[in-house]
Structure 1
Amino acid sequence: MGLLDAVNKTNTKAVKVSERYLDSSYKFYRLKFFKHFSISVSLLFKTIIVGGLGFMCAMLSAVALAFYIGESTGNYPLGFLLVGVGFMVLSIIAYLFRGVINNMVIKKLSKLFFN
């Protein structure tokens, strides 16, 4: 009977250790998920706030530049046209470098997410 009691005691200890391991793993992954989730939500809100303010700044600056060019040339539609062409050129450049932009974003997010 001594051998059976020893095996039973060992099995009981193994079950307890396994339960503690599973509980600890569950808590760890819950905390890790919370960390990544909060970083992602924080990044999203910062992007929305900074992007929105930057967009408003760019649009107001573009209108001011269009009026300035229009006043300088004496033709307001020409000023707005030139600013529009400038934005189109910037859009084409961004489109041509979209692969580089994607790689930069992926690298930055992978450092945030996997570290």
Structure 2
Amino acid sequence: MNVFNSIGETTDKATDIGETYFKASHQYLKLKIFQQLTLSVSMVTKLVVIGAFLFLGLIFCAVATAMAIGEALENLLLGYLIIGAFFLFTAILIYWSRAAINKIVLQKIGDKFFSEK
């Protein structure tokens, strides 16, 4: 019976080690999800705040530039049209290069998401 007791004890130890490993893995997974979630929320929050102020600054600069161009050309409407055309041209360039932008974004997010730290 000594052999059976030894096998039973080994099985109990293996079960305990397996349960400990499972609990540790579960806890690690929860911490990893928390880390990724906080990084993502932080990044989105910073992006929204910085983006809002950049957008406001860009609007004011665009209006001022359009007014300056309009005064230089003695036609305010022409200044606004030139700035509008500039923004449309920029939007078209960004649209054409969207594949490269997607690649950069996926690479940056992939590096952060799959980091081992």
TM-score between the two structures when normalised by the length of structure 2? 0.95
Deviations 1:7-53 (A, max 9, x none): 11111111110110001001111111111111111110011011111
Paired with 1:15 and 1:27, the residues of 2 have a C-alpha distance of: 18
Structure 1 equivalent of residue 37 of structure 2: 37
Paired with 1:72 and 1:83, the residues of 2 have a C-alpha distance of: 14
Paired with 1:57 and 1:50, the residues of 2 have a C-alpha distance of: 11
Q: Does 1:96 align with 2:99?
A: no
Deviations 1:35-77 (A, max 9, x none): 1111111110011011111111111100010111111111111
Structure 2 equivalent of residue 77 of structure 1: 77
Equivalent pairs, count: 115
Identity of aligned residues (%): 33
Paired with 2:107 and 2:17, the residues of 1 have a C-alpha distance of: 39
Paired with 1:7 and 1:99, the residues of 2 have a C-alpha distance of: 60
Q: Does 1:114 align with 2:102?
A: no
SS in 2 for 1:54: helix
Structure 2 equivalent of residue 3 of structure 1: 3
TM-score between the two structures when normalised by the length of structure 1? 0.96
Structure 2 equivalent of residue 64 of structure 1: 64
Structure 1 moving runs of 4+ over 4 Å: none
Gaps of at least 5 residues in structure 2 are: none
Structure 2 equivalent of residue 16 of structure 1: 16
Paired with 1:15 and 1:108, the residues of 2 have a C-alpha distance of: 41
Paired with 1:71 and 1:93, the residues of 2 have a C-alpha distance of: 28
Structure 2 equivalent of residue 54 of structure 1: 54
